[in-house]
Amino acid sequence: MRLKILIPAGLFLDRLVDKVLAESTKGGFCLLPNHIDTASALAPGILTYEVEGQAHHLAVNGGVLVKKGDSVRVSSRAAVAGELGELEAEVLRMQDEASEAEKSARSAVAKLEAGFVRTLIEVETT
């Protein structure tokens, strides 16, 4: 399979691989060459690919994985290659970053809702 990993800065990885292991928002999964085509939302975590029995690891900051035929494409906000032990800290940082983004989004939605309610009350009282 040809694995391509894209990040906002451009192409991060383009390599022929034998196997891909990743973590979706619903749990871990494995892709092999003859598996059915699929698409999956990735959680921040470790993506592992194998080339001739040798495992290589990447930390990915969430994203989308699409397998079509012998092509596997991943689009992520960030990717970092390294040893598994080093990448665990990077994944924790990415998860914290995602949590902060969720908090900000929830806060923005709460402010919009409050503004909407205030406007509705003003309209009803006039």
Summarised one tens digit per residue, pLDDT across range 96-116 is 776 666 666 666 667 677 766
3-state secondary structure 31-50: ECCCCCCEEEEECCEEEEEE
Q: What is the reported pTM?
A: 0.72
Q: Tell me the HSE value of 71 on the side-chain side, using a 13 A CA sphere.
A: 6
Q: Report the chain's terminal Cα–Cα distance, integer Å.
A: 65
CATH superfamily of 2-125: F0F1 ATP synthase delta/epsilon subunit, N-terminal (2.60.15.10)
Cα gap 28→46, rounded to integer Å:
10
Using one digit for the tens of pLDDT, what is the confidence trace for 32-75? 999 999 999 998 888 999 999 999 999 998 899 999 999 999 99
Cα gap 53→56, rounded to integer Å:
10
Residue 61 is given by DSSP the state -
Using one digit for the tens of pLDDT, what is the confidence trace for 66-96? 999 999 999 998 898 988 878 877 777 777 7
